[in-house]
Structure 1
C-alpha cells in the first residue's frame, strides 16, 4: 500500500474516532525483510500496509496494540540474527521501527439540546471529545445547538430509539433534556449501554423522583448507583457555562481515574 493510501486510511480512522498506531521502519542492517516500510495497526490487531511480514511483523503488531492500549509511542528494535531471538528469525540483522500510538477520541453523547448541552458541546471538543447530540424537539427550536455537535441525531422517543443506535463501548453520556419525563426515558435507555460515564442533571429531589420511577420499572438500585447525579463537581456557579465546566471536570476525573480533589491536598 502506498503512502497516499495509508494517509487516507489514517484520516478515515480519525473521522471515525478509531484508534490506531503507525509502525515505520527507521533503521535496518544486515539481511532484513525490508529496509523501508510503514503500516497501520488498529486496536483489534487488523493492519494496513506492511513492514516486512513474518514473525517480525507479528511482533510489531503485538507491540503496537499494547502501546495503543496505554497511549505510548516508542522505538522498538527486533533482533533477526539467531534462532534465540524473540522473532525466531535468522536473517542476520536488526530492524528498528518507530511505533506511534493515536488513541481513539472518547465519544460524548449529550441528550438534550438546551442551554447546558449547548455550553458543554464546544467545551468538550476542546479537550478531545467527539460529540453527538440527541434531541426530540422540532429542529427549528434547536438549530443553533445542533450545529455545535459533530453529529446530531433527531429522535422521537429516547427510551425506544436510543437503544437501537449503535454507540461504542466506553462512551460518556450526559442527560440534560428539557423535562423530568424525558430525563427518565433517556437515563433508562443509556443505562443499557456500556458507558464509561453516565450523568444526569437535576436537583436531589428531582433525581430521586426519576430513580423512584425507574426502580418501579425494574431498574435496580445497583445500576442507578453508578449514575453521576446530581451531575458535575461542586465548584459553584449557576450559569449554563459554569455548569458545563463542572460536568466536564467530572467527566475528565472519571476518564483519567483521578479523585477531583484540589491539587494542594
Structure 2
C-alpha cells in the first residue's frame, strides 16, 4: 500500500493525471481484499493490481469516463461462477469499486498526498476520509481529509472528526468503511507501516533492496561510503543515508515496532556497533550477516558490555533461511524469505547454519 502512495507522489511531481481504483467491499471469492488499490494512467497502463482479469479490465474501461469528468464513480462488479472458474477460483463474488480522479494541478490534492507520504515515511498511523457520491454515476471530485491522533488536515468539519474518531477506535479490525448519513464518506485506515533498514550498501544489500521494494517495504539504505550508498546503485530505495560513521544511528534513521533491521556492513566491528544500538530499540526484526564464529564472538563482546542472553536471542544470525545460498542474489532471497516469515507472525525459529561470512569480501 505504501508503495502505491510513492507512485502517486512520483506522478503528481511529473504532473501526470491518474485514476485510483479502490476495492470498497467484496463478497464471495473476489481475489483481493477491501482497501486494495490500483492506479490507472492516462494511457490506461496500471500500477498495482486489484485482482487481474475481468475485474481490472472493467475498472480500466470505467476509468475513461472518470478521466473525462475528473470526478468519482462507484461501480459494482459481479463475478459469475463461469468467470470465476476461468480465473481459477471456485465460485464468483461481488466487488464494489471506487474510481477516483487524482488531479496533479489541484494544489489541495497534491498537499493531501504529500501529507500522506510524510506520515508513511514517519510511520505515523492515519485515517484518510473521502466524500463519495450516493449514486453510482460520475460526480465531481470528492473532498478529502487526513486525520491522525494529533492532527487534522483538510477543511474543518465536525462530522469528519467524528468519523475519524470512531474508526480509530477499531484500527486493528477495520481497514475501510463507508459512513452514510446526509453525505457519504469512505474512511480508510493506514497503519502499521513496515520499513526495512539496510545498514551497509554492498552487493548483498543492493540485491536485497530490490526484493524489499517489490515486497512493499519502505526501504532505507545506510552506509558511510558515498561511492556505495548512492541513487545510481539504489534506484529502488526510498531513502539513502550517507553517514560519517555508524555511531548514533538513531540520529539518522527512525526505528519503530514495524522496522526490520538488516545489518550488512563490511566489517565485524561495524556490525557489532550497529547491533549494540538496534538491540536497544523495539524493532520487529534484527538480522546480522556472518558466520557462527562471528556470532559467538560478537555476542560474547555484547554480554561483556551488559547485554543479556535475552537480548542476543532476538537476533537472526546467521541471517536468512538456509537454502545453501552462494551468491549475493541468492542470499538476498534467503533474508527476504526470513523477514516474510516474521512478517506473517511465525516468530523466532531455530537459526540456520547458513554461513554468510564468505560474501563479506565482496562488500
- Fold equivalence (TM over 0.5): yes
Compute the RMSD of aligned alpha carbons. Answer: 2.9
Residue of structure 2 equivalent to 1:112? 200
Q: What are structure 2's unaligned runs of at least 5 residues?
A: 1-105, 135-141, 350-363
Residue 41 in structure 1 maps to residue 137 in structure 2: no
Cα distance in structure 2, aligned partners of 1:161 and 1:259: 28
- Describe the SS at the equivalent of 2:222: strand
Is contact 2:229–2:241 with CA below 8 Å preserved after alignment?
Answer: no
Residue of structure 1 equivalent to 2:299? 211
Residue of structure 2 equivalent to 1:164? 251
Residue of structure 2 equivalent to 1:12? 115
Residue 63 in structure 1 maps to residue 166 in structure 2: yes
Residue 185 of structure 1 deviates from its aligned partner by 0.8
Cα distance in structure 2, aligned partners of 1:8 and 1:114: 36
Cα distance in structure 1, aligned partners of 2:154 and 2:263: 42
Residue of structure 2 equivalent to 1:140? 227
* Match of residue 247, structure 1, among 335, 339, 342: 335
Is contact 1:75–1:98 with CA below 8 Å preserved after alignment?
Answer: yes
* Alpha-carbon displacement from aligned partner over 1:144-189 (angstroms, at most 9, x marks no partner): 545553222222332x231333514122110011111111111112
Residue 104 of structure 1 deviates from its aligned partner by 6.0
Q: How many residues align?
A: 233
Is contact 2:129–2:186 with CA below 8 Å preserved after alignment?
Answer: yes
Cα distance in structure 2, aligned partners of 1:11 and 1:95: 26
* Match of residue 74, structure 1, among 152, 174, 177: 177
Q: Which segment is superposed worse, 170-179 or 98-107?
A: 98-107
Residue 257 in structure 1 maps to residue 345 in structure 2: yes
- Describe the SS at the equivalent of 2:314: coil
- Describe the SS at the equivalent of 1:100: strand
Is contact 2:145–2:153 with CA below 8 Å preserved after alignment?
Answer: yes
After TM superposition, list the pairs within 5 Å mapping 1:185-200 onto structure 2. 185-200=273-288
Residue 230 in structure 1 maps to residue 333 in structure 2: no
Residue 129 in structure 1 maps to residue 217 in structure 2: yes
- Describe the SS at the equivalent of 1:206: helix
Cα distance in structure 2, aligned partners of 1:190 and 1:245: 23
Q: Which segment is superposed worse, 182-191 or 100-109?
A: 100-109
* Match of residue 26, structure 1, among 132, 141, 158: 132
CA separation of 1:251/1:66 partners in 2, compared to 1, >3 Å: closer, same or farther?
Answer: farther
Q: Which segment is superposed worse, 6-15 or 248-257?
A: 6-15
- Describe the SS at the equivalent of 1:238: coil
TM-score, normalisation: structure 1: 0.75
Cα distance in structure 2, aligned partners of 1:211 and 1:241: 27
RCO higher in 1 or 2 (8 Å CA, sep ≥ 6)? 1
Residue 256 of structure 1 deviates from its aligned partner by 2.6
Q: What are structure 1's unaligned runs of at least 5 residues?
A: 29-35, 79-93
Residue 96 in structure 1 maps to residue 198 in structure 2: no
Cα distance in structure 2, aligned partners of 1:41 and 1:241: 41
- Describe the SS at the equivalent of 1:186: helix
- Describe the SS at the equivalent of 2:237: coil
Cα distance in structure 2, aligned partners of 1:23 and 1:156: 42
Residue of structure 2 equivalent to 1:87? none
Residue 209 of structure 1 deviates from its aligned partner by 1.0
TM-score, normalisation: structure 2: 0.57
Cα distance in structure 1, aligned partners of 2:311 and 2:228: 34
- Describe the SS at the equivalent of 1:17: helix
